[in-house]
Chains A and B, each alone.
Chain A
């Protein structure tokens, strides 16, 4: 079963960035997050969001890593707003067990998986609220490339038919994403995310249409 090359690169990149972000650095001189009480300095901050994802339409399990730069653009007594730009790499695997309506019988057998990879750019706006500015709600729109590689085997026992096929698609994916993050440590927060992707028939499938996820956000700079 072939998997896209990018599916092998993503975990490596994720590990490097995760561990790299934990190393002491000069960046610690400045708070790598929106300060308590809010701020309006146009300084650039960086974060990395790592999420476990469940997707549906079609179903899949996977993860995503998003590197984001953000800067405050407004500030009030209760909240601070930022503009966020991000680069996200996501991989999801749609194996047979995630398709409850696909089950083997005495006369029908099937096996296989769908592999989905997305590389997207995102732009959005976040609200950091509470006195500590530890709560963040973000609305982002992403646009990028979607890759799908599917390999499935199938057998109709009584008909003497069996075989395996692999199909690969590339398409454009775009859609909205909502996230909520609670920063519980100087460098780490917990987040939940909900997003949807729209395909474009002229280009190719966009992969799963809906995804939900949770994970850790690391405040790097």
Chain B
């Protein structure tokens, strides 16, 4: 009896220790900046968005300067703290002198989250991009959000960065493939464990038919635990993009031995370092 209870105690302790280990994935790093937010009405969506701003520590002491801007999709979705991860890595890289002072802007919803509407491809995706869903949200970003941000804070219009995970990664790649050399909306892209779909491949092909070059920095990450289909899509899209011969395109990718949630931290860290700081 005593031996049995003793074994039970050992088992329970081991199980608890394992559970604690599983819950001890590194969280976001401290944010050295200051946070503000505002509710912003989108006429195109007919609803309110919540814009969160992370301003760098030297923002007030440099009143005449603009700062490079990182736009973060899904900043607070289901407690994944994506904006916290991004601001933490940004803070650490600023302190280490790897990157310039940076403003981070979280694009959130004031009401119910609508990412399953705004990051989904329309049923009839066309080269005119005049459909609903993601086509509309891209217009919201281009015509409403970015102009509002660049009015509200001193965010630079040059080389804007877009960071997304999962469906947000899909929107990030969608934005990359909407590349317009005359007036690029985003030229720094972190597509972290993106929800790949047929439409993205069509868009990439359309871009290759119209653009001789793409002056962008694109980082693609994926979690290996998503399985073979995801890996096939990830590899195909990366290899296609790498094989286009865009001389100005800086492109890299990483595949992490983790799951869809676990890739948020390492994918953002490597991605931000690549698109803002240079090589990994």
Contacts and interface: CB of A to CB of B under 8 A. Distances in A.
Specify whether A and B are partners.
yes
Residue of B4, B19, B232, B236 contacting most chain A CB atoms (<10 Å): B232
Contact of B228 (A42, A83, A165): A165
A164 B21 contact: no
A112 interface: yes
B7 to A, nearest CB: 7
A174 B228 contact: no
Instruction: State which size class the interface on A falls in.
Output: 35 or more
Interface stretch (B10-18, B60-68, B74-82, B246-254): B10-18
Interface of B: 1, 4, 7-8, 11-12, 14-15, 18-19, 21-22, 25, 198, 201-202, 205, 224-225, 227-229, 231-233, 236, 257-259, 262
Given A158-B198, A199-B22, A110 B15 contact: no
A166 interface: yes
B8 A123 contact: yes
Contact of B18 (A108, A172, A204): A172
Given A159-B202, A174-B19, A199-B22, A123 B11 contact: yes
Contacts of A150: 227-228
Contact of A201 (B22, B201, B228): B22
B18 A152 contact: no
A156 B228 contact: no
A154 B11 contact: no
A154 B7 contact: no
Given A143-B18, A164-B232, A199-B259, 8 more contacts: A85-B7, A141-B11, A143-B15, A152-B228, A156-B236, A165-B232, A198-B19, A198-B22
Contact of B227 (A123, A167, A200): A167
A24 interface: no
A198 B7 CA distance: 22
Interface string A185-213: 00000000000001111101100000000
